Each structure stands twice: as structure tokens, then as C-alpha cells.
Structure 1
């Protein structure tokens, strides 16, 4: 696979949304926009009872923000628009009235941790270590932070956000509430994801909708909160520190 994509398939009331980018499933602005729209569409689809969110490829779930686009940002507005892409995906997941099952096959970094955190129930493999690396390049996990904190708690989120050089094990992520289940292989995980999704389809969709609203209560201000956080990131990405750091990734 060499070309990026977001694709949606629906079968037996289960909608699977899959994204892919050849650069370790990084997330440029166009992929973020397509993801947000696909999630919104699935939420509005009467034929969908449950959503599975996954990435293509075998190794990395998501490398986070596209460094190519980060390097190209030259003004605050462009930076704000780029980071708003992550805000839009997280808010689409929050507002989706269907349960979203995460399927994390490998390492996930930065914004990818935010996406995994915004799922309602997340499966992973033993290869799915996580890292919030934003501080390394002079910014911080401002946009994804609320979603990560909601799953890991303030202590867990602070730990991985400050210790930005270290990957944390999937076992740590499970113990702290991000991953519900961790499997030895992708095959085992996929079988479990499918069985779990099929079981959810037997439940009352109205009950699941209200349960999701309950679980996401006190997050109603996230449209405004994440927009403000995107402005902070958009400003910091233009700092001399960050510009110099990003040059090393060219």
C-alpha cells in the first residue's frame, strides 16, 4: 500500500472506518477531514449500530501529526486550521451516537493516542505501545489532551505528556484505562473485535445512544475548548524552538 486513504464499509450493521498513510499512518489535514466526515456519516446512518475504527498496515496504528505539514506551516491561522483537524475528529467521535470500537495493532504516537482515547472501547495488541511526543518538538498535547485525560486520568496523561521521550507499554495503557483488552496477535485481536461488535448489535440502539451520552457528559464544551487548544498549538508550532526541531525531521 502506497497511497493514503480513508475507506468505509458496512456489513451486518457494523461500519468499519479504516485510514491509511504510507508514512506510518500519520495524519495530514485531508485524512483528518475525511475521518471526521466518515465518523459523522456513520453516526447518522440508520443501518449502522456500531463503528469499528482502525488503520491499515500491520505495524503502526498512527504516527500522529504529519511532519511534512507541520514543517510547512508558516502562519498562525494555518497552524490553527491544521490542529483543528484533530479537534474535529475527536469531536466527531464524541458526538457520534454509536459506540466506536478502537482497533490498535501497533505503536501509536501523539495525535494517534488522542484518536485511540476518543474511542468508546479499545482493543490492542502487545505491540501497541503509546507515546505523547509533542513536548519533544516544542508544543504539547493540547488538542488531544482532554481525550487522553478522560481515559487515563490527569495523572496518567501528565506522566506520558511530560515524559515525551518514552514509549509506554500496552500493559501500562490497559492498567490505566486506555486499552480494554490486549492480545498477543493481530489475528486474535481482530477475532475479538468482530465478536464484540456483533454482540453489541444485539443491544437496544436507543440504550447505547443514551449510554454514550452519559459516558461523555461534562464534555459538552469541547467544541470551544479544543478550538482554543488548536490556537495554542498553531502559535507554538511557529516558535523558533519548534522550527529548529522540525528541520531535523526533513
Structure 2
């Protein structure tokens, strides 16, 4: 299955009860709203597909895993309604990952920024390489990682989350992400990572699907309130992105 978008695409391959979802965008695998909507839709479909046992979420190429929100689209936002709608796209994806009946394995081959860190955090198990550094740069551009914060804090805790957020210009290396629980395993190369991930996914897909689904519920206990919380957070980001500070900062980042 191949869904081609004007800017970027979602590609899905299903084999051995494993659905591999690949997202791609020419700007370091960043996300415009259309791509966020397509990923959400795909996750919701696979959640109820009995032929699928496990989902692998990955990005295209050997460079960045995900640069987060599309700067071009952020700069085009001119009112609060559009701002909330854009950030609700990330809320939709995280909630779809949270409520998906299938366990989701993340494959992080390179750097993850902002929403990319949120995606990795919302995975149930994450394989990464030594090149998969992370950064939350939102506060430096006048907004904040409000929508993704619950997912990130759930994985790494509030103290590490505050460090990652406030040190907005600093990359944290893959070892830091591993030590703080964002990554489950880190490998020296993409080849090594893919070999381990493939074997793990096959093993997981061989287990009782009903047991896996029940385990997913246990792993995400006490997150039902995210169905409203994340959209309240989207409204905060939607308001802040309209500020002159953020517009100027985004333009500087683009340069």
C-alpha cells in the first residue's frame, strides 16, 4: 500500500503479520498536517486488522528519524483555530498509538527533534542507533513541547523531561536516551539495529495476539485522560505559534 502526498508519503508493507509503516518527507522527515492525518488513519486501521500482530514505525533514509513539525506549515498559521488544528495532528497520532491494539516498535536510525521525540516516546519498544541523538527545541522558538510532553514524561520521567526541554539548544546522545528509558536498545549501525529489530518483531508476532492486546492496555494504564489533555495542550501551542517571537525564531531556524 502506498499513499503519496504532495510533500512526503506514508508507505506500508505487511509481511509475516508485521506491518511496517514508513513515513518520509524531504525536510528531514518532518510532518505537515496531511502526513500526520495519514499516519493517524493508518494506525487506526491496523488497530482492528486481525491479520496484523505487530507494527513497526520507521522513517525513510539513513539520516534524521524525524525533525518534528513542518516549519513551513508553522509559519503559515495565522489564527488560533488553525494553530490548534495543526498541533492536534500530533495529538491525534499519539492518541492513535496509545489506543492502538497492536504493540508498536519504533525504529530510530538518526536524530529526532520535537515531535520526532514524541513519536519515539509513544512507541512501546524502541530500537535506535548510536546516531539517534534527541533534542526538544520548542522553547527556543517560543512555544513548548506541550502536546508530546505526556508521552515523553511517561517514558523518561519529569526530571529528564525538564532537562531535555530547558536545554533546548543541546543534543542528548543515544546513550542518554537509552539510560533515561526513551530507547530500549541502541546499536552501532543501522544494519545491526535492523537485524535485531527483525528478529524481535518476528518473535513478538508469534505470540498470542489476544495476550499482546491485553498487555498493550496494561502498558498504557492511566492515560485515558489524554483524549482531552492533548487537545488542551494543542490549544496552548496553537496560541503561542502566533506570537512575533515564534515567527521570527522560525524564520531564523529556516535560514
TM-score (norm 2): 0.96
What is the rounded CA distance, in whole Å, between the counterparts of 1:178 and 1:186 in structure 2?
A: 18
* SS of the residue 2:206 aligns to: coil
Size of the alignment, in residue pairs? 249
Match of 1:119 in 2: 123
Confirm whether residue 147 of structure 1 aligns to residue 151 of structure 2.
Answer: yes
- Superposition deviation, residue 29 in structure 1: 0.3
* SS of the residue 2:13 aligns to: strand
Confirm whether residue 187 of structure 1 aligns to residue 160 of structure 2.
Answer: no
1:68-147 paired onto structure 2 within 5 Å: 68-147=72-151
User: What's the RMSD between the two structures over aligned residues?
Assistant: 1.0
What is the rounded CA distance, in whole Å, between the counterparts of 1:228 and 1:155 in structure 2?
A: 22
Match of 1:39 in 2: 43
* SS of the residue 1:19 aligns to: strand
What is the rounded CA distance, in whole Å, between the counterparts of 2:138 and 2:209 in structure 1?
A: 37
**Residue ranges of structure 2 left out of the alignment (5+ in a row):** 1-5
* SS of the residue 1:60 aligns to: coil
Match of 1:17 in 2: 21
Match of 2:8 in 1: 4
- The equivalent position to 1:164 in structure 2, one of 168, 172, 187, is 168
- Superposition deviation, residue 4 in structure 1: 1.2
1:171-250 paired onto structure 2 within 5 Å: 171-248=175-252, 249=254
* SS of the residue 1:88 aligns to: helix
- Superposition deviation, residue 247 in structure 1: 2.4
* SS of the residue 2:242 aligns to: coil
What is the rounded CA distance, in whole Å, between the counterparts of 2:25 and 2:170 in structure 1?
A: 24
Q: Deviations over 1:91-116 (max 9, x none)?
A: 00000011000000000000000000
What is the rounded CA distance, in whole Å, between the counterparts of 1:247 and 1:183 in structure 2?
A: 35
